[in-house]
């Protein structure tokens, strides 16, 4: 497969070297010993350690490893398999998880597709997150995937280079996703549905409002046409204080709630809640 990556300094293609990547202008980026490559230029960093911190990443990893979100991952894998079937690629296909966190969804996607419908396809998987802690953990899920520290606002990919971009519970930049996708490429966008985490939200907010529809549909309009939408809902029972705290640390509520409200959640050792997730597929508009 030809290079997909773009040098963040001069925008020329980045080619693999024995120690990492380099462009024709000799800008070089070494792989860390864990197997990922940091492509964020230090003058573009808006904070010292952008993105999720180690505590949040560890909570997410522990929680996701309990398997409670496997149905979400399975739903994403089905959506990607349908996109692949429609694209009718015969030899190669590239997938980027933009805002991949600690790699749970991308690693499971690779396993599912390896057992599934298109064994003849040479798949290339990349995961990008601005948190180097998250990416470091992602390499532990599957070192054979391409893991990069980079921002969704300046993705280190060439124009029209990727077949599929995934964006799962993460910040989105639709013009940037459109730039890096091929003409017939697809964006798979995953966001909380109206009742996601009700049960927890009822404890946190005096009046629980439904999650608003994601702004993506409007934001994507200039670049993408909606192709499919599915909703996945199921009940979840958390069985310990640790599980509840790990879930809380994965949500924005962890940072937004006051001490008194946090104390109410800390006191729980059982919690019934709803999982409600929407998976949208958008196809890049031609021209
Ligand atoms: C809620 S987490 C979701 C992670 C993963 N997709 C999952 O669902 O497990 C949001 C992720 O977005 C990352 N993030 C935040 N701002 C980002 C940016 N500008 N570029 C890339 N990643 C970003 C955070 O570091 C974090 O890993
Ligand atoms: Zn360069």
Under a CB-based contact definition with an 8 Å cutoff, are residues 180 and 242 in contact?
A: no
Query: Which atom of ligand 1 is nearest the CA belonging to 134?
Result: 27
Q: Single out the residue of 198, 166, 182 nearest to residue 99, CA to CA.
A: 166
Ligand 1 centroid to Cα of residue 109, in Å, is 17
- 257: Cα within 13 Å, side-chain hemisphere: 21
pLDDT given at position 45: 65
β-pairing verdict for 181-192 and 271-284:
antiparallel
- CATH number 1.10.3720.10 given to 36-234+272-284: no
188: Cβ below 6 Å to ligand 1? no
**Helix residue ranges per DSSP H, 66-173:** 70-87, 104-115, 132-141
106: Cβ below 6 Å to ligand 1? no
Strand ordering across the sheet containing 92-98: 37-38, 146-149, 122-129, 92-98, 162-168, 181-192, 271-284, 224-238
In order along the chain (287 residues), what is the average pLDDT of each group of 10 residues?
90 96 97 96 75 92 98 98 90 96 98 81 95 97 97 97 97 97 97 94 80 81 95 97 95 86 92 97 91
Six-digit token pair at 131? 């948190």
Backbone φ and ψ for 162, nearest 5 degrees, come out as -115, 155
156: Cβ below 6 Å to ligand 1? no
Between CA 208 and CA 277 the distance in angstroms is 17
Give the residue extent of every domain in the chain: 36-234+272-284
pLDDT given at position 138: 98
H/E element, 35:
none
Under a CB-based contact definition with an 8 Å cutoff, are residues 190 and 106 in contact?
A: no
pLDDT given at position 117: 63
pLDDT given at position 91: 85
Between CA 217 and CA 204 the distance in angstroms is 28
pLDDT given at position 1: 62
Q: Single out the residue of 199, 172, 190 nearest to residue 275, CA to CA.
A: 199
146: Cβ below 6 Å to ligand 1? no
Overall pTM > 0.85: yes
List residues, by chain if needed, whose CB lies under 5 Å from ion ligand 2: 7, 9-10, 23, 25, 27
132: Cβ below 6 Å to ligand 1? no
pLDDT given at position 206: 72
H/E element, 131:
none
Between CA 168 and CA 41 the distance in angstroms is 24
Residues in the chain, overall count = 287
DSSP letter at 157 equals B
pLDDT given at position 119: 67
Considering every ligand atom shown, identify the ligand nearest to the alpha carbon of residue 22 and give its number. 2
167: Cβ below 6 Å to ligand 1? no
DSSP letter at 190 equals E
Specify the residue for token string 């050792």: 269
52: Cβ below 6 Å to ligand 1? yes
């Amino acid at each position: 497969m030809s290079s997909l990556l773009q040098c963040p300094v001069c925008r020329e293609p980045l080619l693999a070297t024995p120690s990492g990547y380099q462009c024709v202008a000799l800008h070089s980026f070494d792989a860390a010993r864990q197997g990922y490559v940091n492509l964020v230029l230090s003058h573009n960093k808006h904070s010292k350690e952008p993105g999720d911190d180690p505590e949040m990443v560890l909570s997410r990893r522990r929680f996701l490893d309990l398997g409670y979100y496997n149905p979400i991952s399975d739903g994403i894998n089905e959506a990607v398999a349908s996109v692949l079937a429609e694209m009718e690629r015969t030899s190669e296909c590239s997938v980027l998880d933009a805002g991949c966190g600690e790699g749970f969804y991308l690693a499971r996607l690779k396993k599912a597709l390896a057992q599934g419908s298109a064994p003849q396809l040479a798949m290339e998987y990349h995961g990008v997150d601005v948190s180097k802690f998250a990416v470091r953990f992602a390499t532990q899920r599957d070192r054979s995937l391409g893991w990069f520290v980079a921002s969704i606002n300046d993705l280190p990919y060439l124009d029209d280079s990727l077949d599929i971009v995934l964006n799962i519970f993460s910040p989105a930049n639709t013009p940037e996703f459109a730039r890096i996708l091929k003409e017939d490429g697809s964006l798979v966008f995953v966001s909380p549905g109206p009742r996601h985490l009700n049960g927890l939200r009822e404890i946190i907010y005096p009046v629980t409002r439904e999650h608003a529809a994601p702004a993506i549909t409007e934001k994507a309009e200039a670049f993408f046409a909606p192709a499919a939408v599915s909703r996945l809902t199921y009940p979840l029972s958390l069985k310990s204080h640790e599980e509840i705290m790990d879930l809380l640390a994965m949500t924005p509520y962890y940072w937004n709630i006051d001490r008194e409200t946090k104390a109410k959640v800390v006191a729980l050792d059982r919690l019934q809640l709803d999982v409600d997730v929407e998976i949208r597929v958008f196809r890049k508009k031609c021209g």
